[in-house]
Structure 1
Amino acid sequence: MIRERTRASSKRVVAIIAASTVIIAACAAPTTTRVVEVTKEVVVTAAPGAGAIDPSAKFQLTYLNICFPSSMAVTDLMLAAFGAKYPNIDVKVDCAQGDYAEGIFAQAAAGNLPDVVFSADLFTVPFVNAGVLLDLEQFDKADESFSFDDIYPNILALGQVPGKPGTYMIPASWDSVQMYYNKDLFEKSGAPVPTDEWTWDDLITACKVVQEKNPGVYCVGNGGTEGWDWWAYFIPWIVGHGGYPVSEDFKTSTFSSPESLAGIQAYVDLWTKHKVTIPIGEQLPSGRDGCFIAGKCATYFMIPGLMKTFREKITDFTWDVVQMPALPKKRVTGMGTYGYGISKDSKNPQAAWELIKFLASPTGQRLSLTNYIGVPFLKSMADDPVYERLQPPPQNIKAFLKGGEIGIFPPNGYPPKCGSLYAGLINQTIRTALEESIRGVKTVEQAFKDADAEIQSCLDTAQ
């Protein structure tokens, strides 16, 4: 099911881009920061159109989005830039409903995919293997004004498939999971205030002080009914203790190796030993982000796209962000992002490229940053003066920039029949093992030995 989203008039979106450009180009910092609302493998190739698009051309470009706040804001920025350059090209934006991947595969089978499609790291492998997306490197090579070389490799890789050439998604932001925290709550509790140098032991010690002084407050905003089994939360605990969930050749599941078990046990201990998290199954009326906004969760671990929401909704306490706390072997965090690609059915692939490449331009990245919906992934912008002109919160926004350097991806080479950490047998098996461990149904060792056995059985039959 698709719901059409009414697009702003071309005059309005052109005005947005003009006003925003003035803000980021100003020599002095503005007194306020304006927020603008704005498994069969198939090889698909489609040569980009020769030459530039005629600015006077009139046709419609179709665009399918998953419409959440930051994706809609990013879309508005792209539409504004595109509308300023190609005022006669209409962009029809639709909001996907229901199971997104299922809908994409159905449209692909019917041959009626829109020109531009929303994608994300979890969709890259299935979409590319099914031939849904065009390889964007052909457009990159033909476009002298653009280069993938300036994008940090670890975020660009989220639009690539291991062992397969090509790049199939332009990311929206350098999205790594870092720690938002309620500064006032730590200070008023007499607990140390988090820093970029903290370890998890530092955080746990401070959390116990915060919770003792503030009954009804959870220190770590993880748990409840969702999120606790997200790979970007628990896989870094494995890696941070020297383990890894699978062998390099994806033939052996290693969740029950000594190092992996040490990391999983430490993660589970947040609930069972330290009791600094939201109990599994507890209903939160406004979700985990709502818990942080209400001051009932002292920390929240999430990507930079939440900055805009927190700036708008948090009015009664000071908040900031720091890097993910370090684990015994290394400081590491999960990394993932959404972005946009061009479908195999695009009737106007060159125009689609002109639209989405704005995301990876310096102007697009500055606008994303100054609207607090993302962090630049261009290497050339690491020391951009725009950072110094930003108005807090967050004061320490560069934690996301530094944190991007410690980001890891989920293992992304499992046989299709076994699923992945996102879906299928592996996802469900690990979720079950984690829940059994946290609820005390099984020990961590037993739960993950059982999980390894189930995953290994699938890997052995998929060779």
Structure 2
Amino acid sequence: MTALPMLAHAQAKTVVTLAYGSEYVFDTNDFAKKWYDDVKAAFEAKYPEAEVKLVPIPGGYTDIINKLSLLYRSPSTAPDVAQLPTPALGQFQSSGWLAPIDDKLATADWWKEFPAAIQSEGRFDGKVFAVSTGENDSQLYYNMDMFKKAGLPVPWQPKSWDDVLTAARAIKAKITGVVPLWLNVGTSSGDNGLLQGTGNLLNGSSDATILDPKTNKWVVDSKGLREVLTFTKTVYNEGLGDTLSDLFSPSAVTIPLTLFQQGKLAIAVGSNYYGGNWTKTISSPYWEDAPKVIGVVAIPTVTGQAPGICTTLGGWDLAVSATSKSPNYAWKLLDVMEQETAQIDAANWAGFVPAAESYTKSADFVNFSPPYNAVAAQVLPYGMLTPAKAEYEVWSHALQQATGNLAQHKDMTVDQAIASIKGYVSNQLGADQVETR
């Protein structure tokens, strides 16, 4: 009997794993599923010899960090590509889990359009280990009807922090039953709360230094910190801020969205995603009339000093695993995720500002949530990043504690708040790791 020829087996496809937050990052779980399904389809259409295995991570911010930490501990489970929050990049890079991608970025057109500050957010020791897939920055939101009722100008163009306090005081004097000024303080929202609250003020202060680049020490007392703490103390001593129950709620960062819609809030230091949350027809709280009621303007620097605009930067980044068995395809997947359509969809569906300058000018982004997206894009180049060091978590927590205590205890002084910051950071990192400027 003649032996039959053996059939050649189809070559197995290269599998690239992609881990991401499935319930926290995007405005709805359906948006997250659609975006990642679209990315998978676009990649597999471009590279038919490869396929994407999605690794969704349910839960909140901490759940995502914890799960990724577990996955990265073994090369067999480490995702080829992962979506990581900006503040945690230092922790993951210092653990040796991320691969440098500078050689790939050298030929990426979109990378050239990132502002210098955003290019640096994933850079450690001169090498880039992660790239932005969407930024959050902050603005001042204000109720135009309340401003008119209080005799304040509309449109509003505050030039200093004193202008903000003046407006809040006028609201308090003229309108009862509303919160004059929302300023996120305390530890309930962690680093995210600082990014959407007093961190913005520090970046607009006389000295925004957190980690001294010359000494590599953490700044625990400076003119800038004292300006931030003085402003915070003034807001809560004068009864201009919100209740402690709201400030210390686990959902504190999103409370202003509802307060504005209920007509209970006049001004807020808030994130760029506010407008999109109000105006997306499937989001909650949907508020079609928001653009007619709530204005938006850049946050001024403390005295109006150059550049006159201040904001934090923080968002989500993409990184390739240091132990990826398919690093070239991992990069190709990352590159697909950074293309214009994907980035604008992510911005609109997750409340981001795209990092690439041309993307921020796209009508698909600007017109998705007018006027809010345009202002968020305007302030993006002025953003300042927090230090890309794991120890930042300690410094950040110290400032959160200090601002929360000032809101709770009217008799607490700025000197005492500074002492608490110095004591906490010194105890955690060592007295030789802190300095006064």
Out of 231, 249, 252, the residue aligned to residue 214 of structure 2 is 249
In 2, Cα distance between equivalents of 1:286 and 1:122: 19
Out of 265, 268, 271, the residue aligned to residue 297 of structure 1 is 265
In 2, Cα distance between equivalents of 1:323 and 1:272: 25
Q: Which amino acid letter does the alignment assign opposite residue 219 of structure 1?
A: P
Question: Counterpart in 1 of 2:275?
Answer: 307
SS of 1:173's partner is: strand
Out of 264, 279, 291, the residue aligned to residue 243 of structure 2 is 279
Question: Counterpart in 2 of 1:379?
Answer: 357
Q: Which amino acid letter does the alignment assign opposite residue 440 of structure 1?
A: K
Work out whether residues 255 and 261 of structure 1, in 8 Å CA contact, stay in contact via their aligned partners in 2. no
Residue 48 (structure 2) pairs with residue 64 (structure 1): no
Unaligned runs of 5+ in 1: 1-55
Question: Counterpart in 1 of 2:65?
Answer: 101
Residue 154 (structure 2) pairs with residue 193 (structure 1): yes
Structure 1 length-normalised TM:
0.73
In 1, Cα distance between equivalents of 2:327 and 2:104: 9
Work out whether residues 179 and 324 of structure 1, in 8 Å CA contact, stay in contact via their aligned partners in 2. yes
Per-residue Cα deviation, 1:117-153 (whole angstroms, up to 9, x for no partner) = 1212211111111111222223334xx5645222112
Aligned length: 394
In 1, Cα distance between equivalents of 2:422 and 2:251: 35
Q: RMSD of aligned C-alpha atoms? A: 3.4
> How far 1:276 sits from its partner (Å)?
2.0
Q: Which amino acid letter does the alignment assign opposite residue 124 of structure 1?
A: L
Out of 262, 277, 286, the residue aligned to residue 227 of structure 2 is 262
Question: Counterpart in 2 of 1:175?
Answer: 136
Larger relative contact order, structure 1 or 2 (CA cutoff 8 Å, min sep 6): 2
> How far 1:82 sits from its partner (Å)?
4.1
In 1, Cα distance between equivalents of 2:145 and 2:350: 22
Structure 1 residues 336 and 380, CA gap change in structure 2 (3 angstroms): same
In 1, Cα distance between equivalents of 2:190 and 2:71: 33
SS of 1:94's partner is: strand
Question: Counterpart in 2 of 1:434?
Answer: 403
Question: Counterpart in 2 of 1:92?
Answer: 54
Question: Counterpart in 2 of 1:160?
Answer: 123
In 2, Cα distance between equivalents of 1:177 and 1:301: 7
Per-residue Cα deviation, 1:54-91 (whole angstroms, up to 9, x for no partner) = xx974544322123252764673354244145156343
> How far 1:278 sits from its partner (Å)?
1.0
Question: Counterpart in 1 of 2:7?
Answer: none
Residue 296 (structure 2) pairs with residue 333 (structure 1): no
> How far 1:266 sits from its partner (Å)?
1.8
Residue 371 (structure 2) pairs with residue 406 (structure 1): no
> How far 1:241 sits from its partner (Å)?
3.4
Structure 1 residues 74 and 138, CA gap change in structure 2 (3 angstroms): farther
Out of 90, 114, 120, the residue aligned to residue 151 of structure 1 is 114
Work out whether residues 116 and 352 of structure 1, in 8 Å CA contact, stay in contact via their aligned partners in 2. yes
Residue 340 (structure 2) pairs with residue 362 (structure 1): yes
Work out whether residues 115 and 346 of structure 1, in 8 Å CA contact, stay in contact via their aligned partners in 2. yes
Out of 129, 137, 140, the residue aligned to residue 105 of structure 2 is 140
Work out whether residues 84 and 316 of structure 2, in 8 Å CA contact, stay in contact via their aligned partners in 1. yes
Q: Which amino acid letter does the alignment assign opposite residue 315 of structure 1?
A: E
In 1, Cα distance between equivalents of 2:420 and 2:42: 58
Structure 1 residues 95 and 320, CA gap change in structure 2 (3 angstroms): farther
Work out whether residues 140 and 268 of structure 2, in 8 Å CA contact, stay in contact via their aligned partners in 1. yes
SS of 2:73's partner is: helix
Work out whether residues 116 and 340 of structure 1, in 8 Å CA contact, stay in contact via their aligned partners in 2. yes
Structure 1 residues 454 and 210, CA gap change in structure 2 (3 angstroms): closer
> How far 1:311 sits from its partner (Å)?
1.0
Question: Counterpart in 1 of 2:4?
Answer: none
Residue 402 (structure 2) pairs with residue 446 (structure 1): no
Structure 1 residues 186 and 376, CA gap change in structure 2 (3 angstroms): same
Question: Counterpart in 2 of 1:206?
Answer: 167
